[in-house]
Amino acid sequence: MHISEGLLSAPVLIAGAAMAVSGTAIGYRKLNYERIPQVAVLSAAFFIATLVHVPIGPSNVHLILNGLMGLLLGWVAFPAILVGLLLQVVLFQYGGLTSLGVNTVVMALPAVACFYMFRAGVRNEKTAICLFSAFLCGFISVLLGSVLVALALVFTGEAFLAAAKVIVIAHVPIMIIEGIISAACIRFLKKVKPEILEVIYAD
């Protein structure tokens, strides 16, 4: 899901960078002093998650964890993902510095969207509803991310529907895996410290 350098046209890169800056500014303003270590730990998890390669299907897919980040961080997912991606560019040469903005939006925007879509479901007292919401959150965040990649690539000449189809199909295994991971994490948090989610959503 990391778009390489030299593929996207200038308007797409500039629009992506502008959106990433706005999202990061909103996230930074919402960042509480007490939650900074938690954001850093999730950012580190994101940084490493992309190294986990899932050998399913013909394509190369990897964990993204953006759904989980959205669920636990809300708008703060923007700066957390930006930092993770920046380090991936600098240290691993994944993506590129010019496409950093677009890549941040591709992963962080679905995270924020999923935060608003599923926070009510995750707080639900019924475990089944809560876990299903968390699963959907992981699933849909990757789905939205894939659609955004296809959208960014449209301007490079790839036909949107064809590109979107290929990218979405390639990411289906990872959508399911991310869904399961998100549900497992939420279950763990509910068991260990149920009020934690209340603290997160109280902001």
Partner 1 sequence: MPIKRKRGGAVHHLNFGVMTILGLLFFSHIPALAHKVYIYAWLEGDTVYTESYFGAKKKVKQGLIHVFDLSGQRLLEGRTNEKGEFSFKPPLLTDLRIVVEAGMGHRGEFVLKAEKSSVHLGLETIQDVTGEGNRISSDPVSTDEMQIRMIVEQALDARLKPVIRELVEIRKEKGPGFIEIIGGIGYILGFMGLILYFKSRDKAGRQ
Angle separating helix axes 10-29 and 77-87, nearest 10 degrees: 130
**Selected binder of partner 1 within 81, 107, 109, 153 (CB under 8 A):** 153
Q: Does 161 bind partner 1 (CB under 8 A)?
A: no
Tell me how far, at minimum, the Cβ of 132 lies from partner 1, in Å: 20
- The structure tokens listed for 190 are 């509910």
* CB atoms closer than 10 angstroms to residue 20: 24
Cα–Cα distance, 161 to 86 (Å, whole number): 30
**Selected binder of partner 1 within 13, 167, 175, 183 (CB under 8 A):** 167
Q: Where are the alpha helices (DSSP H) in the chain?
A: 10-29, 36-49, 66-73, 77-87, 100-123, 127-154, 160-192, 195-202
Rule CB under 8 A: which of 1-60 touch partner 1? 1-7, 31, 33-45, 47-55, 58-60
Tell me how far, at minimum, the Cβ of 122 lies from partner 1, in Å: 14
Cα–Cα distance, 133 to 123 (Å, whole number): 9
Using CB under 8 A, which of the segments 16-24, 90-98, 117-125, 136-144 binds partner 1? Answer: 90-98
Is the CB of 116 or the CB of 194 nearer to partner 1?
194
What is the dihedral angle through the alpha carbons of 18, 22, 27, 30, rounded to the nearest 10 degrees?
Answer: 170
Size of the site for partner 1 (CB under 8 A): 62
**Contact set with partner 1 (CB under 8 A):** 1-7, 31, 33-45, 47-55, 58-63, 72, 83-84, 87-88, 91-95, 149, 152-153, 163, 166-167, 170, 181, 185, 188-189, 192-193, 195-196, 199
